[in-house]
Chains A and B, each alone.
Chain A
Amino acid sequence: MRFDSALASVGNTPLVLLPRLSPSETVRIWAKLEDRNPTGSVKDRPALYMIEQAEKDGRLTPGCTILEPTSGNTGISLAMAARLKGYRIICVMPENTSAERRQLLAMWGAEIISSPAAGGSNTAVRVARELAEEHPEWVMLYQYGNPDNAGAHYAGTGPEILADLPSVTHFVAGLGTTGTLMGVGRYLREHRPDVEIVAAEPRYDDLVYGLRNLDEGFVPELYDDAVLTGRYSVGSEDAVRRVRQLLDEEGIFAGVSTGAVLHAALGVGRRAVAAGETADIAFVVADGGWKYLSTGIYEAATTEEAVERLQGQLWA
């Protein structure tokens, strides 16, 4: 494969069968390896697409400053694209995200504004909104509400999966901004009306949820529950157990959130087996494990020890 620049090489990632973790020969699980993008995560797709669409409609012009609330990957992708395209970028990030993510952002030239750990990404969104009001000249692409986030997956990820796996019956991904699920979900449903679109969301320990007020929760503007057929909440223990299993049994080194997605995909697979159905289940490996090495979960002797090391951290 040959490309004219690193940016042009975003997407067209491998779809890999998991021969050992698939429950049977007729219920198969396929990993879409999004860590194979230029900065190592699925976020290269929406970041580049949001920037290019904003350039097309004139919201983003040379010399602009980009502002974005991000727990890491989107910021890293935006920072890389911003550097190559000559924009300044400021990321608002919860203070309890991993050291590697901060280093990567700094490496790509992003400026980081930390938001309080309490409230996690919700707080980062609020802080970014306040900054945007103080600096109306800054451009907030705002991944949680920008239709081009889902648009990147409608244009890229969805068609790639259908082309590689025309028999796809289920698509499973992390919820996050909901962009991946909305974009891929809409595309696949247009071509496979019976496809099931399943979300996996991280369930953190109490330290992360803190005293979140039930009346001030946050649902990304992109979210349309009509696109989904199911939604699972996956705790740290299951996520860590699965991400270690993916490494041990299939040789795939993925980030912690992928463990949560795999857990949901395996649950879906188990149901298909129980119902006597055939299934081709595609799930997203959002990033590799590199950025989470400092958590110690990969080399911990037991899953219990690994879970202990993850306490209080935003792992997705």
Chain B
Amino acid sequence: MAIEVRIPTILRTHTDGQKVVTGEGKTIEELFADLEVNHPGIRERLVDDGGLRRFVNVYLNDEDVRFLEGIATPVKDGDSVTILPAVAGGMG
């Protein structure tokens, strides 16, 4: 088992067009470092100065990791991680 990571369209240039990739790690930070091995360049699109980039939202099993422990949030096999661009919306 591994951790499933959903990739937004804009980052699929790093994943050969794949919508979903898998990776490993004990935290989001380790997971992103692991993704970098197979998908070079992806990590710096997500992380900046040791934190998530401002307009990048990362969800662990649908919950925003900024309200968990940020990139230090623990992850485990079988988890699902979704990366999305920040958007406006919702009944505006």
Partner of B55, one of A69, A176, A217, A267: A217
* Cβ–Cβ < 8 Å partners of A214 in chain B: 8, 10-11, 45, 53, 55-56, 85
Contact call B67/A316, Cβ cutoff below 8 A: no
Contact call A230/B54, Cβ cutoff below 8 A: no
Contact call A43/B91, Cβ cutoff below 8 A: yes
Contact call A233/B85, Cβ cutoff below 8 A: no
Binds A, one of B21-29, B32-40, B57-65, B71-79: B57-65
Contact call B90/A175, Cβ cutoff below 8 A: yes
Question: Which residues of chain B (1-48) have a CB below 8 Å from chain A?
Answer: 8-11, 19, 45
Q: Is A215 an interface residue (CB 8 A)?
A: yes
Contact call B62/A202, Cβ cutoff below 8 A: no
Q: How far is the CA of A202 from the CA of B91 in the complex (A)?
A: 10
* Cβ–Cβ < 8 Å partners of B56 in chain A: 214, 217
* Cβ–Cβ < 8 Å partners of A122 in chain B: 87-88
Q: How far is the CA of A220 from the CA of B67 in the complex (A)?
A: 18
- On whether A233 and B57 interact (CB within 8 A), knowing A43-B91, A214-B85, the answer reads yes
Task: Give the residue among A215, A225, A286 with the most B Cβ atoms within 10 A.
Answer: A215
Q: Is A157 an interface residue (CB 8 A)?
A: no
Partner of A203, one of B66, B84, B86: B84
Q: Is A39 an interface residue (CB 8 A)?
A: no
* Cβ–Cβ < 8 Å partners of A41 in chain B: 91
Q: CB-nearest residue of chain B relative to A215?
A: B55
Contact call A220/B64, Cβ cutoff below 8 A: no
Contact call B90/A212, Cβ cutoff below 8 A: no
Q: Is A290 an interface residue (CB 8 A)?
A: no
Q: CB-nearest residue of chain A relative to B82?
A: A233
Contact call A230/B9, Cβ cutoff below 8 A: no
Q: Is A218 an interface residue (CB 8 A)?
A: yes
Task: Give the residue among B8, B45, B92 with the most A Cβ atoms within 10 A.
Answer: B92
Partner of A176, one of B45, B64, B67, B91: B91
Q: Is B50 an interface residue (CB 8 A)?
A: no
Q: Is A236 an interface residue (CB 8 A)?
A: no
Q: How far is the CA of A69 from the CA of B66 in the complex (A)?
A: 28
Question: Which residues of chain A (197-211) have a CB below 8 Å from chain B?
Answer: 201-203, 206, 209-211
* Cβ–Cβ < 8 Å partners of A209 in chain B: 8-10, 84-85, 87
Q: Is A229 an interface residue (CB 8 A)?
A: yes
* Cβ–Cβ < 8 Å partners of A212 in chain B: 8-10, 85, 87
* Cβ–Cβ < 8 Å partners of A120 in chain B: 87-89
* Cβ–Cβ < 8 Å partners of A69 in chain B: 92
Measured CB to CB, the closest approach of chain A to B22, in angstroms, equals 19
Measured CB to CB, the closest approach of chain B to A58, in angstroms, equals 26
Q: How far is the CA of A211 from the CA of B11 in the complex (A)?
A: 9
Contact call B55/A177, Cβ cutoff below 8 A: no
Task: Give the residue among B10, B53, B84, B89 with the most A Cβ atoms within 10 A.
Answer: B89
What 6 pairs across the A-B complex have the smallest Cβ distances?
Answer: A217-B55, A176-B90, A217-B86, A231-B64, A121-B88, A212-B85
